[in-house]
Structure 1
Amino acid sequence: MIDVQRLRVLRTVAEHGSFNRAAAALRLTPSAVSQHVAALERSLGTRVVERSTRGVTLTQAGHIMVGAAESVAAELTHARRELDRLGTGRTRITVATFTSGGRLLLPGALARLTAAHPGTVVHVREAEPEESLPLVRRGDVDIALAYHFDGPLPGRPGRRTAVEWTALPADPLHIVLPEAHPLAGRQTLDIAELAEEPWVLGCLKTEAYLRRYAERAGFTPEVRGTTTDYFFACSLVAAGVGVSLIPSIALTPAPPGLRVVPVSPPVPARHVGVAVPRGRGDDPYVTTLVGALRDEAAAVRTCRGDLIDGIAH
C-alpha cells in the first residue's frame, strides 16, 4: 500500500529540490521529510531520489511516482469539489490565466459558461504558465489558459505529462514602432534590420527570444525599457523610447500612436492553449469552457488580421 502522505512529501521534495526547503514548505523537520521518503522507497523496493551535497534529484522511478502523486492530488481535489457541489448545489470552477490572454479571451468564454451552467461559481487567478501548469497538475485549478514559445510546455523533464493540452490559434509576435518611424511603412521587417534601434521589452520571455535572435544575427540589443506589461511597453514605444516585439493579442484593441509591422518569416509566435488535469477533459463544465475559449480565440484571430492590417497601414 502506497501512503498518500508520503507521495505528497515526495512531490514537495521534487518541487523544492531539497529536503530542507521541502520541510519548510510542509512545516516538518528535514529528518521527518527524509524518513517519509525512505519509507516510500522501502515500500516500493526502489530509490526515488538521489541524495547529494547539492540537494536531491528524482530517479526515473521518482519521476513516475511524482506523476502519480500529482494525479492523486488532482483526484482528491476533484472529489472535494464534487462533495461541495452535492452539499451546496453549486459548482466551483477555478481558472488560471496569463494577463493578455485573459483580458481578451476569458470574459466572453466565462459568460458562455455561466449561461450554460447557471449557478456556477467562477474563481480567476492571474498566473504565468510556469505557475499555472503545476497548479493544473496538482488539481489546484480546473483550467489554465497558458502559452509557450519554442519547445514543449513548461514542466519537469523525464516524466509523463499530467495535463491535457488543447491548442488555440497561435499568437504571432509583431514589431511595434512609433507611427513616425522611418520603417513604419514597411510590409514586413526582419528583426536584424532593427539592430541599431533601442528596445522596450514587455515580457521576460519575449526578451529571451529577442536576445537569442539578436545573438544569431550578430548584434546585442540596446534595452532602454523593461516591463512585465505589454500595454505599458506600447505606451513607451508611442513616447519614442524604443521599438518593441509584442504578441498580437496584446495589440487588441489598437494602441494609439503606433505602427505594427509583421516579422519576416520565420515568424515568432506564442503557442496559446488550454490545460486541464488529465482525465477531466470530459467534465461538462470544462468542456463548455474549453469550447468557448476555442471559439473566442477563433473570433479574435479573424478580427485580429483586419486590426493588424489597419494599424500597419
Structure 2
Amino acid sequence: MIDVQRLRVLRVVAEHGSFNQAAAALRLTPSAVSQHVAALERSLGTQVVARSTRGVTLTQAGHIMVGAAEAVAAELEHAQQQVARLSTGRTQLSVATFTSGGRLLLPAALTRLTAVHPRTVLHIREGEPEDTLPLVRQGAVDLALAYHFDGPLPVGPGPSSRLEWTPLLEDPLHVVLPRVHRLADRDALDLAELAAEPWVLGCLKTEAYLRRYAERAGFDPEVRGTTTDYFFARSLVAAGMGISLIPSIALAPEIPGLCTVPIKSPGPIRHIGVATISRDDRPHVTTFIRALREQALQHNGH
C-alpha cells in the first residue's frame, strides 16, 4: 500500500523542484525527504523523480503520483469539512482570488451567497493563479477566482484534468497615458505606435505579456519600472515616468490627468474565470459560482 505521507512529500518536491527547498517547506531534513521519495520509488518499482545537480524533475510516473497525491489531499480535506459540518452545523467556504478580480466580483457575490446560505463561514485568500490553482486541486481552497492570458491555465506541476473552469468575463488591457500625451486623443492605438515610449507596469506577468506582443509588433519595450499594484503603476504614469498597460477592471478609481486608450484588435486580453473541483454535495459552492457569473454579467452590461 502506498504511504500517504510519502505522496505528500512527493507533491511538495514537485512544487519546489528541489529536495532542499521541499525539506524547508516540510520542516524535515533533505535526507528525510530523499528517503521518503526513495521508499515511494521502491514500493512502486520505478523512479518518480529524475535527480540532477540542478534539482529534481518528475518522471512520467511521478506526474501520475503527484496527481494521485493531490486527489488524496483533496478528498481528505473534503471529508474533514463534512465532519466539521456535522459537528457544528456550519459550512466552510474557502475562496482564493487575485486582487483586481476579487475587488470587482467578490463583495456582491459574497452578499448573494450569505443571503441563500447564511450559516456559511467564509475564508478569503489572496494570491496569483499560479499559486492558487494548485490549492484548488489539493483541496486547500474550494475555488479560485483566477485569470490567464493567451496560453493555458498556470496550474503548476501535475495534471489539471480535475479542475473545472467556468469563464466569467474577458478583461482587455488598455494603454494608460498622460492626458497631455500626443496620442491621448486617439480612439485606439496599435502597439507599434508606442515603440519609442518608456513603460511602467503593474505586475511581472503584464511585463512578460507586453514583451510578447511588442515582439510581434517589431520592437523591444523600454520598461522603467514594474510594480505589484496597478494603481501604483498608474500613479507613476501621472508623475511622468512613462505609459502603462492596465487591465480594464483595474482602471478604477480614476486618477486625474490620465486617459485610457484601447489597443487595436487583436489586443492583449486577460480571461477571467473560476476554477473548482466539481462535486454534487456542495450547494454553497454552486450558489457562489452562480453569484460570480451574475456579477460578471452585470459588469459586462455596463
Aligned to 1:289: 288
Aligned to 1:8: 8
Contact 1:70–1:162 (CA<8 Å) still a contact in 2? no
Give the secondary structure class of the aligned counterpart of 1:152.
coil
Q: Which runs of 5 or more structure 2 residues have no equivalent in the other structure?
A: none
Answer with 104-113 or 178-187: which moved more.
Answer: 178-187
Q: Which amino acid aligns with 1:237?
A: V
* Superposition deviation, residue 75 in structure 1: 1.0
* Superposition deviation, residue 256 in structure 1: 3.5
Cα separation, partners in 2 of 1:18 and 1:200, compared to 1, 3 Å: closer
Q: Which amino acid aligns with 1:192?
A: A
Q: Which amino acid aligns with 2:213?
A: Y
1:149 aligns with 2:149: yes
Aligned to 1:52: 52
Identity of aligned residues (%): 74
Q: Which amino acid aligns with 2:245?
A: L
Aligned to 1:233: 233
1:36-80: CA deviation from partner (whole Å, max 9, x where unpaired): 222222222322112223222111111011001001101111111
Between the aligned partners of 2:219 and 2:294, the Cα distance in structure 1 is: 41
Cα separation, partners in 2 of 1:151 and 1:79, compared to 1, 3 Å: same
1:268-293: CA deviation from partner (whole Å, max 9, x where unpaired): 100111011x3337621111111111
Kindly tell me the number of residue pairs found equivalent between the two proteins: 302
Answer with 51-60 or 170-179: which moved more.
Answer: 51-60
Contact 2:134–2:156 (CA<8 Å) still a contact in 1? no
Between the aligned partners of 1:40 and 1:226, the Cα distance in structure 2 is: 43
Contact 2:145–2:273 (CA<8 Å) still a contact in 1? yes
Between the aligned partners of 1:193 and 1:207, the Cα distance in structure 2 is: 18
Contact 2:73–2:139 (CA<8 Å) still a contact in 1? yes
Aligned to 2:89: 89
* Superposition deviation, residue 249 in structure 1: 0.6
Answer with 49-58 or 62-71: which moved more.
Answer: 49-58
Between the aligned partners of 1:226 and 1:50, the Cα distance in structure 2 is: 36
1:301 aligns with 2:300: yes
Q: Which runs of 5 or more structure 1 residues have no equivalent in the other structure?
A: 304-313
1:194-223: CA deviation from partner (whole Å, max 9, x where unpaired): 112222211111111112222333333233
Between the aligned partners of 1:138 and 1:154, the Cα distance in structure 2 is: 15
Aligned to 2:109: 109
Aligned to 1:22: 22
Q: Which amino acid aligns with 2:22?
A: A
* Superposition deviation, residue 160 in structure 1: 4.3
Contact 1:146–1:272 (CA<8 Å) still a contact in 2? yes
Answer with 199-208 or 47-56: which moved more.
Answer: 47-56
TM-score, structure 1 as length reference: 0.91
Contact 1:177–1:244 (CA<8 Å) still a contact in 2? yes
1:99-142: CA deviation from partner (whole Å, max 9, x where unpaired): 11011111000111111101211111110111111211211111
1:225-276: CA deviation from partner (whole Å, max 9, x where unpaired): 3211111222222333321111101114544432211111112100111011
Between the aligned partners of 1:300 and 1:4, the Cα distance in structure 2 is: 44
Aligned to 1:69: 69
Give the secondary structure class of the aligned counterpart of 2:199.
strand
Give the secondary structure class of the aligned counterpart of 1:246.
strand
- Superposed, 1:237-252 pairs within 5 Å as 237-252=237-252
Aligned to 1:311: none
- Superposed, 1:247-258 pairs within 5 Å as 247-258=247-258
Answer with 181-190 or 39-48: which moved more.
Answer: 39-48
Aligned to 1:184: 184
Q: CA RMSD in A?
A: 1.8
Contact 2:14–2:157 (CA<8 Å) still a contact in 1? no
Aligned to 2:37: 37
